[in-house]
Structure 1
Amino acid sequence: MLASPERRRQHQPWVDDVLHRLKGLDLRPLRAVIPPAGYVPDFLTPPPTSTPSSFENELEVVRATHPSQFVDELAWTVGDTGTPLAWRREMAPLHQQMLDEPEKAVRQITQLLRAYWRLALEPSWHKLHGGLVSDIRSRMRVMESSGAASVFSTLNERIGWHDDRLTVRSSYTYEETLGGQGIVLVPSVFCGPDVLTMLPPLQSMVVYPRPAVADIWRHHGEDRPSPLRALLGGVRAAVLEALVTPASTGELAAKVDVTPGAISQHVSVLRGCDLVTSHRSGRRVFHSLTETGEALVRGAEYSVGRVV
């Protein structure tokens, strides 16, 4: 997305900020494995698991890529006629170095991904992740009430669902009978306007653009008061904002920087207002937003700075 002026438009406030942060960081090794169009090596996009995972844990999956897998997938990228010829020519020396020393290349790519994460994404991740989780939850409610067909048919204009067949409009031709294996649906802030797919024998995955993505950056970089904190107080607002991602009592205490006992008291009040729900798993209690709590958090985010 950073390499494409056309894709930047929806994210311009973020782009302006991030390009300044990235000065001095040589991203060519990353650009060598992420073409502007065409096949992106699958080792870079391990499918999400059913339980929340930290960035470091998922980065470890990338770092553990076997050299033979790296060579096979990079060779596929280099030979893919869907990648721009000018890009292949520009990156040819780097590609050869990586193919000759795959273990070194994987280490370098992992280090750059960590640096890029810290500079470009981590400062905005709470906001980004909250919107993605909200999209997943809303589609789960649609699935529960109207079935899978209603979810597939509303994901994106490039995705279709007819007679139990899922189609994705793409420059590639591929057909597979899943046989009950299932598909992982992944909303993305930055993939638009494309819909990306991962195909068997790997876990089938469809990555689709999160709707209304430009709204995320409406007040990017502006220091504005939180209406949620004015309504509920600092700690309870912080608890709700932190629960965009479900968390245990201990995890919440660390995020909000108060004691577990205080978290329990605040969560009890929020639960009584139907903003939070809790369940026990072994010795730990996990908390998450209800539909009402989620709507309150999202509404507060979009109302910041609005002139009435």
Structure 2
Amino acid sequence: MPCGPYIPDFLTPAVDGGNADLRQGVDRVLSTPRSRLRREFTLLAESEARTLPLRGPGPETRVRPFAAEQLARGDAAALRALGGLLTAYDAAFVAPYRPWIDAAVASDVAWRSRELAVGGVRALLETFRPMARWSPPVLEVTYPVERDLHLAGRGLLLVPSYFCWRKPITLFDGALLPVLVYPVEKPVQPPAAASDASLARLLGPTRAALLYEVALRGCATTSELALAVGCSLPNTCQQLAILREAGLAACRKEGRCVLHHPTPLGCRLLETAGAGSVEAPLPMPRPATVPP
């Protein structure tokens, strides 16, 4: 993909929320109708013609899209090759960093979901400052190009992305499902990898109850958790630190509060603990889930 103002929409198909996986996304890409492939590759060629050639150490060159003519025709061999490259790229460059990605997205969703639950849609949209500003009835977004997107009653799907940088983006085709893909905060350090020793430290009613409560709420302050499990604030802080060391919980600073949320590993451990391997004074709730 050349660097430019246009990216074909068929490369980022809509998928079914939490049930989505790479295979489903690749299948959606490869099943794009030929008429849409022709239309979007025509737009790509027009966009490329308007951009300046890329300069390298040698003569001026222009980056050509992968098998553009073959893909525009819906050539089966080119589509299979594209699917193989997407899968190989994920295995080499995305999968090894999945813990970073999952932790960053989970933190963002937990924080914004809390704001939505407490303060409604206005509070949720306020979390997007300065990259977006809610001026009813218009959401003004810092965007790479000048454009208007009219929802026409369809709603707006907010999509946190680890791979979106600096500014939010949306699909080019206004007839598609309206989405706003926005960058999530990247962690400075990877989430801690749980070890047998650190997990063993979790076996106790207080820490189990805290983990259950964090997962139930999705996002909670230290004071809220201390009150929920009946512990002193210092003891709650100590137990939450152990949960973070084990990679089962994470936190983010928001104003004067520290918000805690479960990691994907913490949620998986809770599902296993439901069989009775961890005793806790509270019944095990299902971790809260929200749309992406």
Q: TM-score range by the shorter chain?
A: 0.5 to 0.7
Q: Is the 8 A contact 1:189 1:210 kept in 2?
A: yes
- Out of 274, 280, 285, which is 1:277 matched to? 285
Offset of residue 71 of structure 1: 2.0
Q: Is the 8 A contact 1:39 1:82 kept in 2?
A: no
Moved more, 60-69 or 42-51: 42-51
User: Do residues 232 (structure 1) and 242 (structure 2) align?
Assistant: no
The AA in structure 2 aligned to 1:74 is F
Q: Is the 8 A contact 2:170 2:179 kept in 1?
A: yes
Q: Is the 8 A contact 1:133 1:245 kept in 2?
A: no
- Out of 10, 16, 24, which is 1:49 matched to? 16
How far, CA to CA, are the matches of 2:106 and 2:35 in structure 1? 34
User: Do residues 197 (structure 1) and 167 (structure 2) align?
Assistant: no
Moved more, 240-249 or 97-106: 240-249
Offset of residue 125 of structure 1: 1.3
- 1:14-163 aligned at under 5 Å gives the runs 34-80=1-47, 84-86=51-53, 89-91=62-64, 94-100=67-73, 102-163=75-136
Q: Is the 8 A contact 2:4 2:48 kept in 1?
A: no
Structure 1 spans left out of the alignment, 5+ residues: 1-33, 254-261, 279-287, 291-308
User: Do residues 186 (structure 1) and 159 (structure 2) align?
Assistant: yes
Q: Is the 8 A contact 2:167 2:183 kept in 1?
A: yes
Query: Larger helix proportion, structure 1 or 2?
Result: 1
Change in CA separation of 1:92 and 1:126 when aligned onto 2, cut-off 3 Å: closer
Identity among equivalent positions (%) equals 22
Could you tell me which residue of structure 2 aligns to residue 299 of structure 1?
A: none
Q: Is the 8 A contact 2:30 2:80 kept in 1?
A: yes
Highest Rg: 1 or 2?
Answer: 2
The AA in structure 1 aligned to 2:108 is D
How far, CA to CA, are the matches of 1:79 and 1:92 in structure 2? 12
The AA in structure 2 aligned to 1:229 is L
Could you tell me which residue of structure 2 aligns to residue 244 of structure 1?
A: 264
DSSP 3-state at the match of 1:91: coil
Structure 2 spans left out of the alignment, 5+ residues: 55-60, 209-242, 250-261
- Where relative contact order (Cα < 8 A, 6+ residues apart) is larger, the structure is 2
- Out of 106, 128, 148, which is 1:175 matched to? 148
Offset of residue 123 of structure 1: 2.1
How far, CA to CA, are the matches of 2:11 and 2:184 in structure 1? 20
Change in CA separation of 1:140 and 1:190 when aligned onto 2, cut-off 3 Å: same
Q: Which runs of 4+ in 1 moved over 6 A?
A: 236-239, 245-249
